[in-house]
Amino acid sequence: MSAPPRERAGRRPRRVADALHQLPFRQPRHRFPAADVLSADELEMIHNASLRVLEEIGLWVQNDRAIGLLRAAGALVDGNQRVRIGREIVAEALRTVPSQFTLHARNPAHDVVYGGDYIAFGTVGGPPNCSDLDGGRRPGSHRDSQKFIRLVQSLNCVHIAGPAVAAIDLDAESRHLDTAYDMLTLTDKVFLGSGIGAERFNDAVEMVCIARGLDRDEIARTPSLSTIINTNSPLLVDGPMADGLMACAAAGQATIVTPFTLAGAMAPISLAGALAQQNAEALAGIALVQLTRPGAPVVYGGFTSNVDMRTGAPAFGTPEFAKGAMATGQLTRRYGIPYRSSNVNASNAVDAQAAYESQMSLWSSLLGRANVIHHGVGWLEGGLVASFEKMIVDAEMIQMLARTLEPIEVNEDALGLEAMREAGAGGHFFGTAHTQRRYGTEFYTPLLSDWRNFENWQTAGGLDATQRANAIFKTMLQAYEKPPLDQGIDEALLEFMARRRVEIARRK
């Protein structure tokens, strides 16, 4: 097991900025071809199976308002909240789904495009626990939550902020206000609002309105927020989730409908079956978004993976996950809907397993041409832990992929024949004019990787990647700068929160 690197007494801190090699904030664009792992016929079989699921089996929708919307569109509802959704309802919904949209950050330089050939990475979101080598594994606190948000602001490769870990030391009823405030003050990137119930989401919308100085109509035209709506697989949509979905859609913000289809547990054990069920649940959620507000931005979230059949534990970054991520890409392209995937793993430590399972997730998401990759940095232990060290390991991996997606420069100078003449057969290129000219920018400079030879590496402490990541995230927190915010806006946010806290407390 890795231990945190020991502090060296008397060592002078090196300049903080020197330690952090980052690419600029920019959305990578897809350049690899889509891996179509399903034939056209197979894709249609899965599509048709999912329509049969919606028509023949139906969804259990635990929300009368959602049932009302679906019934008005022609769905058949029985007395047990069982809703059977005809394919014409789905087809109608798909007609109004935007294929691409932009989420607007408080800082316009951080706006994010969803769809097309754009890729956006989000932070890990939702774990109850967090960990680092110094403090070990522990329940999330407000202090830890804020540290993660500062890291997200600092990491140029992360485009979407969100509550990495739950601040469980704050009051559960008003915690979402503190989180939204942190999102609007500690970072100026777009962020995820809580989609559990309408009230929490609407509070976030109000606070975004205050921060951007816009009203709700304007914010609907230039959305800022997104939220994750997980169906309760199999084939169940619970009341608060449906409320959250409808609140998000009504506000014109982006709903990311993500069925939680773990094959063998919450979905059929066969990948085709899990995909059919995922597709049924996703299409139902997307239809509900469009019935709430036609044209509202919505994203198809693919999260199909499998469980360990011996223990029931979820597994991620597996071959089944990878094939599912590529197949889901085919489904989303068939519908013309932006596609969300994830950077996930099931390791209990920030070790080789965490890295290779994450890489499996990332590459298969790229080959599925995912537009949004959530849990992009920091996810560990199947989502039960947000890891500070994993944030840095993932940031390095994402930066490397972003750089790999950039084109190769091919022109007379790059082809380098003059350099070859200068170096000569059996010579070397260190000193050629060509090398000197391109020296500073030609190669990717790592944030985390250590390429020193063994002796130098050992002399410097022999730290493995996880130990180095520990030092880097602390350096990054040290170098963090709070983005500027107008004082009047800050006061208005605090005033809104104070009023809402009173309202919430009064209701108890």
Query: Which parts of 18-77 interact with a copy of itself (CB under 8 A)?
Result: 31-38, 42, 45-46, 49, 52-53, 56-60
Q: Does 314 engage in binding with a copy of itself (CB under 8 A)?
A: yes
236, β-bridge pairs: 60
Nearer to a copy of itself, 61 or 205 (CB): 61
Q: Does 270 engage in binding with a copy of itself (CB under 8 A)?
A: yes
State how far the Cα of 108 lies from the Cα of 320, in Å rounded to an integer.
Answer: 38
Q: Does 312 engage in binding with a copy of itself (CB under 8 A)?
A: yes
State how far the Cα of 372 lies from the Cα of 30, in Å rounded to an integer.
Answer: 12
Least distance from a copy of itself to the Cβ atom of residue 194, Å: 23
Q: Does 410 engage in binding with a copy of itself (CB under 8 A)?
A: yes
Contacts of a copy of itself in 228-247 (CB under 8 A): 232, 234-236
Q: Does 295 engage in binding with a copy of itself (CB under 8 A)?
A: no
Among 226, 258, 306, 371, binds a copy of itself (CB under 8 A): 306
Nearer to a copy of itself, 31 or 221 (CB): 31
State how far the Cα of 387 lies from the Cα of 37, in Å rounded to an integer.
Answer: 33
Q: Does 477 engage in binding with a copy of itself (CB under 8 A)?
A: no
Contacts of a copy of itself in 195-224 (CB under 8 A): none
Among 227, 320, 337, 383, binds a copy of itself (CB under 8 A): 320
Nearer to a copy of itself, 253 or 318 (CB): 318
Q: Does 426 engage in binding with a copy of itself (CB under 8 A)?
A: yes
Cβ of 49: how many Cβ atoms within 10 Å?
A: 16
Contacts of a copy of itself in 109-148 (CB under 8 A): 137
Nearer to a copy of itself, 123 or 231 (CB): 231
Helix H or strand E segment including 66: helix 64-72
Contacts of a copy of itself in 325-384 (CB under 8 A): 327, 346-360, 363-364, 367, 381-382, 384
Among 142, 464, 489, 490, binds a copy of itself (CB under 8 A): 464
State how far the Cα of 186 lies from the Cα of 207, in Å rounded to an integer.
Answer: 14
Q: Contact, 472 vs 155, CB < 8 A?
A: no
Burial classification of residue 90, based on how many CB atoms lie within 10 Å of its CB (0-12 exposed, 13-18 middle, 19 or more buried): buried
Among 75, 184, 249, 276, binds a copy of itself (CB under 8 A): 276
State how far the Cα of 290 lies from the Cα of 335, in Å rounded to an integer.
Answer: 14
Pinpoint the alpha helices (H) of 368-462: 388-404, 412-415, 417-423, 433-438, 454-459
State how far the Cα of 283 lies from the Cα of 62, in Å rounded to an integer.
Answer: 17
Q: Does 423 engage in binding with a copy of itself (CB under 8 A)?
A: yes
| Residue among 369, 360, 303 nearest 334 (CA) | 369
The residue range among 87-95, 289-297, 399-407, 481-489 that interacts with a copy of itself, by the rule CB under 8 A, is 399-407
Pinpoint the alpha helices (H) of 160-261: 175-185, 198-212, 216-221, 239-250
